[in-house]
Structure 1
Amino acid sequence: MTLKNIALFDLDHTLIPLDSDFAWGEFTTALGWTDAASFQQQNHAFYEHYKAGTLDIHAYCRFATAALVKQGAAKSIAAHADFMRAVIQKAIQPQALKLVQDHQAAGDTVIIVTATNAFVTRPIATAFGVEDLIAVDLVKDDAPGGTGWYTGEIAGVPSFREGKVARVDQWLSDRGLGWDAVHTTFYSDSINDVPLMDKANVAVATNPDARLRALAQERGWRILDLFP
Protein backbone atom coordinates (compact mmCIF):
# COMPACT_ATOMS: atom_id res chain seq x y z
CA MET A 1 0.00 0.00 0.00
CA THR A 2 1.29 3.45 -0.92
CA LEU A 3 1.12 5.78 2.03
CA LYS A 4 -0.15 9.33 1.68
CA ASN A 5 2.63 11.81 2.52
CA ILE A 6 1.68 14.61 4.88
CA ALA A 7 3.98 17.47 5.86
CA LEU A 8 2.96 19.07 9.15
CA PHE A 9 4.36 22.46 10.07
CA ASP A 10 4.24 24.41 13.27
CA LEU A 11 4.05 28.11 12.41
CA ASP A 12 5.63 30.47 14.94
CA HIS A 13 9.44 30.36 14.95
CA THR A 14 9.20 27.41 12.55
CA LEU A 15 7.92 28.90 9.28
CA ILE A 16 8.22 32.50 10.41
CA PRO A 17 10.95 33.89 12.69
CA LEU A 18 8.52 35.37 15.20
CA ASP A 19 5.50 34.50 17.30
CA SER A 20 2.47 35.71 15.35
CA ASP A 21 0.17 35.93 18.37
CA PHE A 22 2.77 37.86 20.37
CA ALA A 23 3.42 40.17 17.41
CA TRP A 24 -0.33 40.72 16.88
CA GLY A 25 -0.63 41.74 20.52
CA GLU A 26 2.22 44.22 20.14
CA PHE A 27 0.64 45.54 16.92
CA THR A 28 -2.78 46.13 18.46
CA THR A 29 -1.22 47.70 21.54
CA ALA A 30 0.47 50.20 19.23
CA LEU A 31 -3.01 50.97 17.89
CA GLY A 32 -4.08 51.89 21.41
CA TRP A 33 -6.35 48.88 21.89
CA THR A 34 -4.73 47.93 25.19
CA ASP A 35 -2.81 49.61 27.97
CA ALA A 36 0.75 49.22 26.76
CA ALA A 37 2.55 48.64 30.06
CA SER A 38 -0.01 46.20 31.45
CA PHE A 39 -0.44 44.29 28.21
CA GLN A 40 3.26 43.91 27.54
CA GLN A 41 3.93 42.70 31.07
CA GLN A 42 1.22 40.03 30.82
CA ASN A 43 2.12 39.14 27.24
CA HIS A 44 5.75 38.54 28.18
CA ALA A 45 4.71 36.48 31.20
CA PHE A 46 2.48 34.23 29.09
CA TYR A 47 5.23 33.89 26.48
CA GLU A 48 7.72 32.76 29.12
CA HIS A 49 5.21 30.15 30.29
CA TYR A 50 4.82 29.00 26.68
CA LYS A 51 8.56 28.60 26.25
CA ALA A 52 8.75 26.73 29.56
CA GLY A 53 5.92 24.39 28.58
CA THR A 54 3.66 25.60 31.41
CA LEU A 55 1.15 27.75 29.52
CA ASP A 56 -2.55 27.71 30.47
CA ILE A 57 -3.84 27.91 26.90
CA HIS A 58 -7.40 28.89 27.91
CA ALA A 59 -6.26 31.76 30.12
CA TYR A 60 -3.84 32.91 27.45
CA CYS A 61 -6.48 32.80 24.72
CA ARG A 62 -8.87 34.97 26.76
CA PHE A 63 -6.06 37.45 27.32
CA ALA A 64 -4.80 37.43 23.72
CA THR A 65 -8.24 37.91 22.17
CA ALA A 66 -9.67 40.44 24.64
CA ALA A 67 -8.87 43.42 22.44
CA LEU A 68 -10.33 41.99 19.24
CA VAL A 69 -13.41 40.81 21.13
CA LYS A 70 -13.89 44.38 22.37
CA GLN A 71 -13.15 46.06 19.03
CA GLY A 72 -15.52 43.86 17.03
CA ALA A 73 -15.31 42.24 13.62
CA ALA A 74 -14.89 45.19 11.22
CA LYS A 75 -12.07 46.92 13.11
CA SER A 76 -10.29 43.63 13.89
CA ILE A 77 -10.35 42.35 10.33
CA ALA A 78 -9.11 45.68 8.96
CA ALA A 79 -6.34 45.81 11.57
CA HIS A 80 -5.27 42.28 10.75
CA ALA A 81 -4.93 43.16 7.06
CA ASP A 82 -2.61 46.00 8.11
CA PHE A 83 -0.74 43.56 10.40
CA MET A 84 -0.19 41.20 7.48
CA ARG A 85 1.28 44.00 5.36
CA ALA A 86 3.35 45.64 8.08
CA VAL A 87 4.66 42.59 9.94
CA ILE A 88 3.96 39.16 8.49
CA GLN A 89 4.73 39.65 4.81
CA LYS A 90 8.17 40.95 5.78
CA ALA A 91 8.71 37.93 8.03
CA ILE A 92 7.98 35.31 5.35
CA GLN A 93 11.44 34.34 4.17
CA PRO A 94 12.19 32.69 0.81
CA GLN A 95 13.72 29.55 2.31
CA ALA A 96 10.63 28.90 4.43
CA LEU A 97 8.31 29.44 1.47
CA LYS A 98 10.48 27.12 -0.64
CA LEU A 99 10.35 24.39 1.99
CA VAL A 100 6.56 24.42 1.90
CA GLN A 101 6.45 24.62 -1.88
CA ASP A 102 8.92 21.73 -2.26
CA HIS A 103 6.59 19.49 -0.27
CA GLN A 104 3.63 20.64 -2.33
CA ALA A 105 5.55 20.04 -5.58
CA ALA A 106 6.30 16.49 -4.40
CA GLY A 107 2.56 15.90 -4.02
CA ASP A 108 2.55 16.01 -0.23
CA THR A 109 -0.42 17.37 1.68
CA VAL A 110 0.79 20.34 3.71
CA ILE A 111 -0.92 21.23 6.98
CA ILE A 112 -0.01 24.05 9.34
CA VAL A 113 -0.66 22.96 12.93
CA THR A 114 -0.40 25.87 15.35
CA ALA A 115 -1.34 26.76 18.92
CA THR A 116 -2.14 30.30 17.78
CA ASN A 117 -5.80 31.06 17.07
CA ALA A 118 -7.29 30.79 13.61
CA PHE A 119 -8.20 34.48 13.39
CA VAL A 120 -4.53 35.41 13.54
CA THR A 121 -3.18 32.49 11.52
CA ARG A 122 -5.62 31.82 8.68
CA PRO A 123 -4.33 34.74 6.55
CA ILE A 124 -0.74 33.65 7.29
CA ALA A 125 -1.45 30.11 6.09
CA THR A 126 -3.01 31.60 2.96
CA ALA A 127 0.13 33.69 2.40
CA PHE A 128 2.11 30.43 2.41
CA GLY A 129 -0.31 28.89 -0.08
CA VAL A 130 -1.51 26.39 2.53
CA GLU A 131 -5.21 25.54 2.59
CA ASP A 132 -5.21 23.11 5.49
CA LEU A 133 -4.85 24.86 8.83
CA ILE A 134 -5.27 23.31 12.26
CA ALA A 135 -5.32 26.19 14.75
CA VAL A 136 -7.03 27.11 17.99
CA ASP A 137 -10.67 27.66 17.06
CA LEU A 138 -12.56 30.40 18.86
CA VAL A 139 -16.15 30.40 20.06
CA LYS A 140 -18.45 32.88 18.34
CA ASP A 141 -21.52 34.38 19.98
CA ASP A 142 -24.00 33.07 17.42
CA ALA A 143 -27.01 33.00 19.76
CA PRO A 144 -30.08 35.01 18.74
CA GLY A 145 -29.30 38.62 19.53
CA GLY A 146 -25.64 37.79 20.03
CA THR A 147 -22.70 39.71 18.65
CA GLY A 148 -21.82 37.13 15.99
CA TRP A 149 -18.20 37.73 16.98
CA TYR A 150 -15.63 35.97 19.10
CA THR A 151 -16.10 35.54 22.85
CA GLY A 152 -12.48 34.78 23.76
CA GLU A 153 -13.19 31.16 24.64
CA ILE A 154 -11.75 28.16 22.82
CA ALA A 155 -14.01 25.94 20.72
CA GLY A 156 -13.26 22.24 21.00
CA VAL A 157 -9.79 20.84 21.60
CA PRO A 158 -7.04 23.46 21.45
CA SER A 159 -4.19 22.54 19.09
CA PHE A 160 -1.59 22.79 21.82
CA ARG A 161 0.79 20.13 23.15
CA GLU A 162 -1.11 16.80 23.18
CA GLY A 163 -4.03 18.64 21.59
CA LYS A 164 -2.08 18.85 18.34
CA VAL A 165 -2.04 15.05 18.16
CA ALA A 166 -5.79 14.92 18.85
CA ARG A 167 -6.56 17.54 16.21
CA VAL A 168 -4.42 15.86 13.53
CA ASP A 169 -6.06 12.56 14.46
CA GLN A 170 -9.46 14.20 13.92
CA TRP A 171 -8.31 15.69 10.59
CA LEU A 172 -7.32 12.20 9.44
CA SER A 173 -10.52 10.61 10.73
CA ASP A 174 -12.66 13.20 8.94
CA ARG A 175 -11.05 12.01 5.70
CA GLY A 176 -11.37 8.33 6.42
CA LEU A 177 -7.68 7.99 7.18
CA GLY A 178 -5.69 6.59 10.08
CA TRP A 179 -2.08 7.09 11.12
CA ASP A 180 -1.22 3.76 9.49
CA ALA A 181 -2.36 5.10 6.09
CA VAL A 182 -0.11 8.16 6.08
CA HIS A 183 3.56 9.03 6.34
CA THR A 184 3.92 12.20 8.39
CA THR A 185 6.80 14.62 8.70
CA PHE A 186 6.49 17.28 11.38
CA TYR A 187 8.57 20.44 11.57
CA SER A 188 8.64 22.38 14.86
CA ASP A 189 10.83 24.64 16.95
CA SER A 190 9.19 24.05 20.31
CA ILE A 191 9.50 21.64 23.20
CA ASN A 192 5.69 21.97 23.47
CA ASP A 193 5.39 19.98 20.26
CA VAL A 194 7.18 16.83 21.39
CA PRO A 195 3.89 14.85 21.60
CA LEU A 196 3.26 15.32 17.86
CA MET A 197 6.95 14.91 17.03
CA ASP A 198 6.84 11.55 18.80
CA LYS A 199 3.74 10.57 16.83
CA ALA A 200 5.05 11.61 13.41
CA ASN A 201 7.09 9.22 11.28
CA VAL A 202 9.76 11.89 10.85
CA ALA A 203 10.43 14.71 13.30
CA VAL A 204 12.43 17.73 12.19
CA ALA A 205 13.54 20.13 14.93
CA THR A 206 13.34 23.39 13.01
CA ASN A 207 15.07 26.47 14.47
CA PRO A 208 14.73 24.56 17.76
CA ASP A 209 14.73 26.10 21.19
CA ALA A 210 17.53 24.93 23.48
CA ARG A 211 15.52 22.16 25.12
CA LEU A 212 14.25 20.79 21.81
CA ARG A 213 17.73 20.98 20.25
CA ALA A 214 19.14 18.89 23.08
CA LEU A 215 16.30 16.36 22.79
CA ALA A 216 16.70 16.17 19.00
CA GLN A 217 20.39 15.44 19.38
CA GLU A 218 19.60 12.75 21.95
CA ARG A 219 16.98 11.09 19.76
CA GLY A 220 18.75 11.52 16.45
CA TRP A 221 16.10 13.78 14.96
CA ARG A 222 17.11 15.98 12.05
CA ILE A 223 17.88 19.57 13.03
CA LEU A 224 17.04 22.26 10.47
CA ASP A 225 18.21 25.81 11.09
CA LEU A 226 16.02 27.54 8.56
CA PHE A 227 16.70 31.09 9.67
CA PRO A 228 20.13 32.73 10.13
Structure 2
Amino acid sequence: MSDTPFFESELFAELKEDLTQSSRFTATYRIAAPDYEEARKLAFGICVEQTVECPYELVKGTPIGDTIVGQIEDLKKAEPGAYYATISYDPTAVGNEMAELLNMLFGNTSLQPGIKLMSFDLPEAMYDNYPGPRFGRTGLRDLCGVPRGPILMSAIKPLGRSPKELGQMVYDLAMGGCPIIKDDHSLMNQDYAPFEERVLQCVMALADAKEKTGKKSMYIANCTADGLQFLDRAYKAKEIGAD
Protein backbone atom coordinates (compact mmCIF):
# COMPACT_ATOMS: atom_id res chain seq x y z
CA MET A 1 0.00 0.00 0.00
CA SER A 2 1.43 3.38 -1.03
CA ASP A 3 2.05 6.09 1.57
CA THR A 4 1.10 8.78 -0.96
CA PRO A 5 -2.20 10.48 -0.05
CA PHE A 6 -5.00 9.60 -2.47
CA PHE A 7 -5.50 13.17 -3.67
CA GLU A 8 -1.78 13.47 -4.51
CA SER A 9 -1.46 10.08 -6.16
CA GLU A 10 -0.96 9.34 -9.85
CA LEU A 11 -4.14 7.26 -9.71
CA PHE A 12 -6.24 10.27 -8.65
CA ALA A 13 -4.67 12.44 -11.36
CA GLU A 14 -5.39 9.74 -13.94
CA LEU A 15 -9.00 9.31 -12.83
CA LYS A 16 -9.57 13.06 -12.94
CA GLU A 17 -7.93 13.57 -16.32
CA ASP A 18 -10.03 10.82 -17.88
CA LEU A 19 -13.24 12.65 -17.00
CA THR A 20 -12.51 16.35 -17.40
CA GLN A 21 -14.35 16.52 -20.72
CA SER A 22 -17.44 14.62 -19.54
CA SER A 23 -20.82 16.37 -19.50
CA ARG A 24 -21.81 14.24 -16.51
CA PHE A 25 -20.55 14.85 -12.98
CA THR A 26 -18.50 12.12 -11.37
CA ALA A 27 -17.75 10.71 -7.95
CA THR A 28 -14.92 8.41 -6.94
CA TYR A 29 -15.60 5.87 -4.20
CA ARG A 30 -13.24 3.59 -2.33
CA ILE A 31 -14.85 0.16 -2.15
CA ALA A 32 -13.68 -2.66 0.12
CA ALA A 33 -13.90 -5.84 -1.94
CA PRO A 34 -11.90 -9.08 -2.20
CA ASP A 35 -11.76 -9.08 -6.02
CA TYR A 36 -12.63 -7.12 -9.16
CA GLU A 37 -15.99 -8.81 -9.78
CA GLU A 38 -17.23 -8.11 -6.28
CA ALA A 39 -16.01 -4.52 -6.53
CA ARG A 40 -17.88 -4.07 -9.82
CA LYS A 41 -21.02 -5.56 -8.31
CA LEU A 42 -20.84 -3.13 -5.38
CA ALA A 43 -20.09 -0.22 -7.73
CA PHE A 44 -23.17 -1.00 -9.80
CA GLY A 45 -25.16 -1.13 -6.58
CA ILE A 46 -24.00 2.43 -5.90
CA CYS A 47 -25.10 3.47 -9.40
CA VAL A 48 -28.62 2.26 -8.70
CA GLU A 49 -28.94 3.17 -5.02
CA GLN A 50 -27.75 6.74 -5.47
CA THR A 51 -30.21 7.42 -8.29
CA VAL A 52 -33.40 5.42 -8.91
CA GLU A 53 -33.26 3.44 -5.65
CA CYS A 54 -35.30 0.55 -7.03
CA PRO A 55 -34.52 -2.81 -8.69
CA TYR A 56 -32.62 -2.08 -11.91
CA GLU A 57 -34.84 -4.49 -13.81
CA LEU A 58 -37.68 -1.99 -13.51
CA VAL A 59 -35.81 0.62 -15.58
CA LYS A 60 -33.47 -1.52 -17.70
CA GLY A 61 -33.66 -0.63 -21.38
CA THR A 62 -35.54 2.62 -20.72
CA PRO A 63 -34.30 6.24 -20.95
CA ILE A 64 -34.19 6.26 -17.14
CA GLY A 65 -31.96 3.22 -17.08
CA ASP A 66 -29.74 4.63 -19.83
CA THR A 67 -29.30 8.16 -18.43
CA ILE A 68 -30.50 8.66 -14.85
CA VAL A 69 -28.91 5.54 -13.38
CA GLY A 70 -25.26 6.13 -12.53
CA GLN A 71 -22.65 4.70 -14.90
CA ILE A 72 -19.36 3.05 -13.96
CA GLU A 73 -16.69 5.02 -15.80
CA ASP A 74 -13.64 3.42 -14.24
CA LEU A 75 -12.71 0.76 -11.72
CA LYS A 76 -9.13 0.42 -10.56
CA LYS A 77 -7.43 -1.53 -7.81
CA ALA A 78 -6.28 0.67 -4.95
CA GLU A 79 -4.53 -1.81 -2.65
CA PRO A 80 -5.21 -5.40 -1.62
CA GLY A 81 -8.88 -5.63 -0.70
CA ALA A 82 -9.90 -2.22 -2.06
CA TYR A 83 -10.83 -0.60 -5.37
CA TYR A 84 -11.55 2.92 -6.62
CA ALA A 85 -14.76 3.19 -8.62
CA THR A 86 -15.49 6.35 -10.59
CA ILE A 87 -19.21 6.72 -11.29
CA SER A 88 -20.87 9.39 -13.43
CA TYR A 89 -24.32 10.91 -12.93
CA ASP A 90 -26.66 12.96 -15.10
CA PRO A 91 -26.62 16.68 -14.06
CA THR A 92 -30.33 17.06 -14.87
CA ALA A 93 -31.09 14.49 -12.17
CA VAL A 94 -30.12 16.90 -9.39
CA GLY A 95 -32.27 19.76 -10.70
CA ASN A 96 -29.73 22.46 -9.73
CA GLU A 97 -30.33 21.76 -6.02
CA MET A 98 -27.42 21.44 -3.62
CA ALA A 99 -29.31 19.10 -1.29
CA GLU A 100 -29.95 16.64 -4.12
CA LEU A 101 -26.37 16.91 -5.35
CA LEU A 102 -25.13 15.85 -1.91
CA ASN A 103 -27.80 13.15 -1.71
CA MET A 104 -26.80 11.72 -5.09
CA LEU A 105 -23.10 11.77 -4.27
CA PHE A 106 -23.39 9.95 -0.96
CA GLY A 107 -26.96 9.37 0.24
CA ASN A 108 -28.10 5.87 1.18
CA THR A 109 -24.71 4.46 0.18
CA SER A 110 -23.21 6.23 3.20
CA LEU A 111 -25.01 3.67 5.37
CA GLN A 112 -23.27 0.73 3.69
CA PRO A 113 -20.04 -0.63 5.18
CA GLY A 114 -16.81 -0.54 3.20
CA ILE A 115 -17.74 2.36 0.90
CA LYS A 116 -16.18 5.82 1.17
CA LEU A 117 -16.72 8.87 -1.04
CA MET A 118 -13.23 10.06 -1.92
CA SER A 119 -13.82 12.95 -4.31
CA PHE A 120 -16.15 14.36 -6.95
CA ASP A 121 -15.80 16.47 -10.07
CA LEU A 122 -18.32 18.73 -11.79
CA PRO A 123 -18.36 19.66 -15.50
CA GLU A 124 -17.87 23.34 -16.27
CA ALA A 125 -21.57 23.85 -16.98
CA MET A 126 -22.49 23.00 -13.38
CA TYR A 127 -20.28 25.64 -11.78
CA ASP A 128 -22.86 28.34 -12.49
CA ASN A 129 -25.11 26.62 -9.94
CA TYR A 130 -22.37 25.35 -7.63
CA PRO A 131 -19.57 27.96 -7.45
CA GLY A 132 -17.97 26.25 -4.46
CA PRO A 133 -17.57 26.99 -0.75
CA ARG A 134 -17.61 30.58 0.43
CA PHE A 135 -14.36 30.20 2.34
CA GLY A 136 -12.75 26.92 1.28
CA ARG A 137 -10.11 25.11 3.30
CA THR A 138 -7.64 27.99 3.07
CA GLY A 139 -10.27 30.49 4.14
CA LEU A 140 -11.27 28.36 7.13
CA ARG A 141 -7.65 28.12 8.21
CA ASP A 142 -7.32 31.90 7.93
CA LEU A 143 -10.50 32.41 9.97
CA CYS A 144 -9.29 30.01 12.66
CA GLY A 145 -5.66 31.07 12.63
CA VAL A 146 -4.59 27.45 12.14
CA PRO A 147 -2.23 27.33 9.14
CA ARG A 148 -1.62 23.58 9.38
CA GLY A 149 -2.71 20.48 11.26
CA PRO A 150 -6.18 19.66 12.60
CA ILE A 151 -8.74 22.38 13.29
CA LEU A 152 -10.34 21.56 16.63
CA MET A 153 -13.97 22.24 17.51
CA SER A 154 -15.87 21.67 20.73
CA ALA A 155 -19.54 21.91 21.72
CA ILE A 156 -20.78 23.51 24.92
CA LYS A 157 -23.22 21.40 26.95
CA PRO A 158 -25.19 19.92 28.69
CA LEU A 159 -28.83 20.94 28.86
CA GLY A 160 -29.66 22.61 32.15
CA ARG A 161 -26.69 25.01 32.25
CA SER A 162 -27.40 28.72 32.52
CA PRO A 163 -26.21 31.25 29.91
CA LYS A 164 -23.51 32.40 32.33
CA GLU A 165 -22.28 28.84 32.89
CA LEU A 166 -22.23 28.17 29.15
CA GLY A 167 -20.37 31.44 28.62
CA GLN A 168 -17.76 30.29 31.14
CA MET A 169 -17.30 27.10 29.10
CA VAL A 170 -16.74 29.20 25.99
CA TYR A 171 -14.21 31.33 27.87
CA ASP A 172 -12.29 28.30 29.13
CA LEU A 173 -12.21 26.69 25.70
CA ALA A 174 -11.04 29.90 24.05
CA MET A 175 -8.35 30.38 26.70
CA GLY A 176 -7.22 26.85 25.95
CA GLY A 177 -6.83 27.69 22.27
CA CYS A 178 -9.88 25.91 20.79
CA PRO A 179 -10.51 27.73 17.48
CA ILE A 180 -14.19 26.81 16.95
CA ILE A 181 -16.74 26.59 19.76
CA LYS A 182 -20.36 25.74 19.04
CA ASP A 183 -23.67 25.37 20.82
CA ASP A 184 -24.65 21.77 21.33
CA HIS A 185 -27.43 20.85 18.90
CA SER A 186 -29.85 20.44 21.82
CA LEU A 187 -29.39 24.05 22.99
CA MET A 188 -32.21 26.06 21.41
CA ASN A 189 -34.37 28.45 23.46
CA GLN A 190 -34.99 26.68 26.76
CA ASP A 191 -36.13 28.71 29.77
CA TYR A 192 -32.87 28.08 31.63
CA ALA A 193 -30.76 29.18 28.63
CA PRO A 194 -32.78 31.59 26.44
CA PHE A 195 -31.32 31.94 22.95
CA GLU A 196 -30.45 35.65 22.95
CA GLU A 197 -29.06 35.69 26.47
CA ARG A 198 -26.97 32.58 25.80
CA VAL A 199 -25.51 34.00 22.60
CA LEU A 200 -24.70 37.31 24.32
CA GLN A 201 -22.91 35.59 27.20
CA CYS A 202 -20.88 33.44 24.81
CA VAL A 203 -19.93 36.36 22.57
CA MET A 204 -18.79 38.40 25.60
CA ALA A 205 -16.81 35.40 26.86
CA LEU A 206 -14.94 35.21 23.55
CA ALA A 207 -14.17 38.91 23.70
CA ASP A 208 -12.75 38.53 27.22
CA ALA A 209 -10.58 35.61 26.16
CA LYS A 210 -9.30 37.45 23.09
CA GLU A 211 -8.34 40.45 25.22
CA LYS A 212 -6.18 38.18 27.36
CA THR A 213 -4.68 35.91 24.68
CA GLY A 214 -4.73 38.10 21.58
CA LYS A 215 -6.17 35.16 19.66
CA LYS A 216 -9.64 34.95 18.15
CA SER A 217 -11.79 31.87 18.57
CA MET A 218 -15.14 31.53 16.79
CA TYR A 219 -18.49 30.91 18.46
CA ILE A 220 -21.22 29.23 16.39
CA ALA A 221 -24.77 29.63 17.71
CA ASN A 222 -27.36 26.92 17.15
CA CYS A 223 -30.17 28.76 15.32
CA THR A 224 -32.41 25.73 14.82
CA ALA A 225 -36.10 26.58 15.24
CA ASP A 226 -39.56 25.79 13.90
CA GLY A 227 -40.28 26.95 10.38
CA LEU A 228 -38.72 30.24 9.28
CA GLN A 229 -38.04 31.26 12.87
CA PHE A 230 -34.53 29.90 12.39
CA LEU A 231 -33.82 32.88 10.11
CA ASP A 232 -34.83 35.31 12.84
CA ARG A 233 -32.45 33.59 15.23
CA ALA A 234 -29.65 33.60 12.67
CA TYR A 235 -29.98 37.32 12.07
CA LYS A 236 -30.21 37.98 15.80
CA ALA A 237 -27.10 35.89 16.49
CA LYS A 238 -25.21 37.83 13.83
CA GLU A 239 -26.43 41.12 15.31
CA ILE A 240 -25.21 40.11 18.78
CA GLY A 241 -21.82 39.12 17.38
CA ALA A 242 -21.78 35.36 16.90
CA ASP A 243 -19.60 34.05 14.09
TM bucket, shorter chain:
under 0.3
Q: Would you tell me which structure has more helix in proportion to its own residues?
A: 1
TM-score normalised by L of structure 2: 0.22
Larger radius of gyration: 2
Q: Return the structure number with greater relative CO, CA threshold 8 A, min gap 6.
A: 1
